[in-house]
Structure 1
């Protein structure tokens, strides 16, 4: 998720960006709206991921103005990126849908956000978004797996993803 900006390096300071996510959990076919809050930005690369794999998950709906879908991991709608360097604001809304099958227990959103060509932050992460206990994602509901959820929740808390 590094931009191909020759002669530049990501910022090492904490990113001045955070995510505003429309729901704390996701279900089959239900969209999650994602906004990047903070100052205006010109470039973005945005994906949904899980801890078990670096592959982008789910798919993005028609992207907002000044952005476009990007094919990652062989899927044409697995990421969103900028289509120009026009300013994007905290009002820019990205809409993500979870995978139709094999949903993970949690996802998080991760982005590279560029204020300008040579000022950008990588690995900007959201808080985790849990799979709704009623979601089946092509399989059975995991509502009965309480012990696994408790242990996984504790692990995420210890890692700072709460």
Structure 2
């Protein structure tokens, strides 16, 4: 009887481990996570504490045709979903270039290179550099980099954001009709955020 109970317990443990691994997406975030950037980790919630991560971006402004290098500073992490967006829109912008080791590109917003995610659960460090290329047309006034960063299946932070990256005055990619109409509001909003010291 005791042997049967032990075998059942072992079988259940193996089943639960496999089920947890399946739901943790160890080979990368699914496209379904692109908009809200929440990992589909069963039975878990984002950490309520401030994220122990910040962005290091090699330039304060972007220019179409010129790549931007992005690093995530903080302790080593295993999971990642990284996107470029503008205020008020969940759509991804531009395209991520050849992903570094242990990561891969993810299609988001119909863009095959719209995001970067982990390709395995190997550790990624602050030396890991992601390269983003701004769009050739319809550039917004500002871009922010946004990430969900996971140290493990249960420990992850969402809403990790960079400082505002401004469109360079020399950029020729311009803004779409919405961007032109709302540009004054966006600029005022961004100025207010910068004055308040927000990212």
TM-score normalised according to structure 1 size: 0.89
The Cα shift of 1:62 comes to: 0.7
The one of 29, 48, 54 equivalent to 1:18 is 54
Whole-angstrom CA distance in 1 between matches of 2:135 and 2:197:
25
Larger radius of gyration: 2
Change in Cα spacing, 1:150 to 1:105, as seen in structure 2 (3 Å) is: closer
Relative contact order (C-alpha < 8 Å, sep 6+): which is higher? 1
Q: Distance in 2 between matches of 1:122 and 1:133?
A: 32
Distance 2:65 2:154 in 1: 38
Task: Give how far 1:159 is off.
Answer: 6.3
Task: Measure, in 2, the Cα distance between the counterparts of 1:91 and 1:62.
Answer: 16
Q: Given the alignment, which residue of 80, 85, 89 partners 1:49?
A: 85
Aligned-pair distance for 1:136? 1.2
Distance 1:24 1:129 in 2: 5
Q: Distance in 1 between matches of 2:85 and 2:128?
A: 20
Task: Decide whether the 8 Å contact of 2:164 with 2:190 is kept in 1.
Answer: no
Between Structure 1 and Structure 2, which shows a larger proportion of helix residues?
Answer: 2
Partner residue, 2:120: 84
Rounded to whole Å, the distance in 1 between the matches of 2:128 and 2:190 is 30
- Whether 2:150 is the aligned partner of 1:114: answer yes
TM-score (norm 2): 0.73
Structure ranking higher in strand proportion = 1
- How far is the alpha carbon of 1:151 from its aligned partner? 3.2
SS of equivalent residue, structure 2 residue 127: coil
RMSD (CA atoms):
1.9
Deviation at residue 158 of structure 1 after TM alignment: 5.5
Gaps of 5+ in 1: 140-146
Q: 2:139 pairs with 86, 90, 103, which one?
A: 103
Q: CA 1:29/1:40 → structure 2, altered by over 3 Å: closer, same or farther?
A: same
